[in-house]
Amino acid sequence: MARILVTDDAAFMRMQLKNIFTSLGHEVVGEAENGRMAIDLYNELKPDLVSMDITMPEMNGVEALKEIKKNYPDATVVMCSAMGQQQMVLEAIQSGAKDFIVKPFDQDRIQQALAKIF
């Protein structure tokens, strides 16, 4: 069972991800609505995995990923994006993201991503 931090500016998306992760037997230990909050919660909670939306206010997911990886090189982050963000997904992978999941979320795809990581 992984301890997961869910990061997305849309409450509905956070709830959807939380439901999928818990149904797969994992624990959601925190929720963040922007990259700045994700960094603060990562520092506090030290989760096993962060699901990180790319497009968010205040600080986007790629910037937050870079900041988390700078302080915690072993951090495991999976990016979540809508279609049409290939350039940012590529930048995220190059910055250390382990995988990316395209919205809308599919439980089987999330399970595959988690199986690759853990």
* % residues pLDDT > 70 (the chain): 98
28-17-51-49 Cα dihedral, nearest 10 degrees: 30
Q: Band of the pLDDT at 88, cuts 50, 70, 90? A: confident
H helices present in 1-118, as ranges: 11-23, 35-45, 61-71, 86-94, 107-117
Which pLDDT score, from 0 to 100, does residue 94 have? 95
Which pLDDT score, from 0 to 100, does residue 44 have? 98
Domain extent for 84: 3-117
Beta bridge partners of 102: 81
> N- to C-terminal Cα distance for the chain?
9
Give the model confidence (pLDDT) of 46-69 as tens digits. Answer: 999 999 999 999 999 999 999 999
The pTM assigned to this predicted structure is 0.95
CATH number of 41's domain = 3.40.50.2300
Which pLDDT score, from 0 to 100, does residue 84 have? 67
**Domain tally for the chain?**
1
Contact 43, 75 (CB under 8 A): no
